[in-house]
Structure 1
Amino acid sequence: MPKFCANLSWLFPELPLMDRFKAAKEAGFDAVEVLFPYDCAAQEMRDQLVWNSLTFVLMNYPPPNATGGPQGFAAVPGLEDRFRRDFDRALRFAHVLKPRHIHIMAGVADGPEAEATFTENLRWAAARAPGQSLTIEPINRHDKPGYFLHDYDTAARVLDAVAAPNLALQFDAYHAHRITGDVPGAWAAHGHRAAHVQVAGFPGRHEPQGGEIDYPAFFARLDAEGYAGWVSAEYAPAAATAEGLGWLR
């Protein structure tokens, strides 16, 4: 089976965030991700990671988004200065938290100018933080209306244009199903670009079991192809988190 990590922004919602690290470890996870850690003291979160022997896999950029801010602006023309300023802020958090990946969110935009802006901002960010792995993720427009990066061909085109060794694809199987209806096909075409994978069931975005996505087959394929990255459980538990972890075992 692949290496699984817990998305603490989604799992264990019955607990305060700082208590979720211990809960994840006790549930069998050796790694976690937190989408927007910016409302917490970075060192306090780092302490939780160390005390519970957890790898920190991923966080999102930009801050803040959890309180209703824009869902990114890397592809929004005219906001280049804000992109660069807030990217440096994210790097200060990353210096303490040491995430394997920072996911750069594109935001709401459309058209060739937006793609050019996204490409140039990513090129700048990759050069700004050459030792930090960065990812971009196609997100379906049903869940995030107007989101710029909503298909895999665009993601591939942008990745090829930037051509940075520290920029890769973030492949969310739930979004892939929403976008294409064909997770195996999307992975076959684009999985070689992926540095990080996320999973959730469909429909409902609950546990990755049953439903329309054949996760046993998907996990077996990741193993067969030698995928070495983490697979994040990014879903809304149907009940108490621990009760729904049968898929993990």
Structure 2
Amino acid sequence: MIIETTAGPVRLAANLKWMYTEVPFEERFDAAAASGFTGVEFASPYELPAERIRELLDQSGLEQVLINTPAGPAGSATIMGAAFVPGAREEFRAGVLSALEYATVLGAPVVHVMAGLRPAAAEPELAFANYVANIGWAAEQARGAGIRIVLEAINKRDQPRYGLESMETAAAVAEAVDPATVGVLFDVYHAQVDRGNVIERFERLAPLVGHIQIADNPGRGEPGTGEIAYEGVLARIAASDYAGWIGCEYGPIGRTDEGLAWTKRISA
């Protein structure tokens, strides 16, 4: 879906984990296409064979724009990713390889490598060094596959133990490892909750931004349901050199299709 801002167009992708939950997952592809989306993202494709998801994409005329690396099972130390967990190297590497295989079949150009939770007993410096080493290994694999990986920081209100401290830390890791292969996932919702100054921070990080996601705050609903001035935010993104997708990673407060009225307000 392309919408016009005061500074030009931006491309929106539907997040099928958060949107169209009124219907079963496999029906969400057609629902997104019927709303005018041409791209979709979702964290975990691993519940279905990659070939089945490819079929669903082709049937609905959609592009897959992003997937995440796998999360560990419920209750495990790697439930939000394995990169930051000392001792989980083999699980991390297997997950990265699986993600790259899925991304190749689906044609997804970007994979979000989940940092995961820092174990309470782990030394912070050791956990961070382990993380950077893991991202370096993942970058080598992604480079060979022609896929970009992105790193996302989750705000400390929602997840106090998440490994990445901030988007600025993610950017520093990307710079240290390989900025051509590793980028920042700039999530506007997490940026606002973390410390605000969304436009200023985006402008500083823009050269490293490899993907963008949006939701409003509070409530994580669609733009227009909270405090974020999305007219200005999206216009600034449109005016930048960022040419990728913007994932709608929000939970509609009502029916998904009705909530999309915000896109018309922005365009108007």
Settle same-fold status: TM greater than 0.5.
yes
Q: Which residue of 2 aligns with 1:61?
A: 69
Instruction: Measure, in 1, the Cα distance between the counterparts of 2:240 and 2:112.
Output: 24
Whole-angstrom distance in 2 between the partners of 1:174 and 1:242 = 21
Q: Which residue pairs with 1:3 in the alignment?
A: 11
* Aligned ranges 1:1-249 → 2 under 5 Å: 1-63=9-71, 70-109=79-118, 111-130=124-143, 131-249=146-264
Aligned-pair Cα RMSD in Å = 1.5
Contact 1:75 1:118 in 2 (8 A): yes
The secondary structure found in structure 1 opposite 2:66 is strand
More moved, 239-248 vs 78-87: 78-87
Runs of 4 or more off by more than 6 Å in structure 1? none
Q: 1:235 to 1:137 in 2, by over 3 A?
A: same
**Which region of structure 1 is more displaced relative to structure 2, 23-32 or 219-228?**
219-228
| Long gaps (5+) in structure 2 | 1-8
Question: How much has 1:94 moved relative to structure 2?
Answer: 2.0
Report the AA paired with residue 8 of structure 1. L
- More displaced stretch, 118-127 vs 108-117: 108-117
Tell me, in whole angstroms, the C-alpha distance in 1 between the residues paired with 2:167 and 2:126: 18
Q: C-alpha displacement at 1:68, in angstroms?
A: 5.9
Give yes or no for contact 1:170–1:196 (8 Å, CA) kept in 2: yes
Shift of 1:79: 1.3
Q: Is the 8 A contact 2:72 2:82 kept in 1?
A: no
- Single out whichever of 182-191 and 126-135 deviates more from structure 2: 182-191
Which amino acid is 1:218 matched to? V
Question: Across the two proteins, how many residue pairs are aligned to each other?
Answer: 248
Q: How far has the Cα of 1:230 moved from its partner?
A: 0.4
Q: Are the aligned partners of 1:38 and 1:64 in contact in 2 as well (CA < 8 Å)?
A: no
Which has the higher mean CA deviation after the structures are superposed, 142-151 or 130-139?
142-151
Tell me the SS of whatever aligns to 1:218.
helix
Q: In structure 2, how many angstroms separate the alpha carbons of the residues matched to 1:144 and 1:163? A: 27
- The residue type equivalent to 2:21 in the other structure is P
Q: Which whole-Å CA distance do the structure 2 matches of 1:95 and 1:152 have between them?
A: 27
- Percent identical among aligned pairs is 39
The CA distance in 2 between the partners of 1:122 and 1:64, in whole Å, is 17
Matched AA of 1:44: R
Query: Relative to 1, partners in 2 of residues 1:164 and 1:193: Cα closer, same or farther, differing over 3 Å?
Result: closer
Decide which moves more: 192-201 or 141-150: 141-150
Letter in 1 for 2:251: A
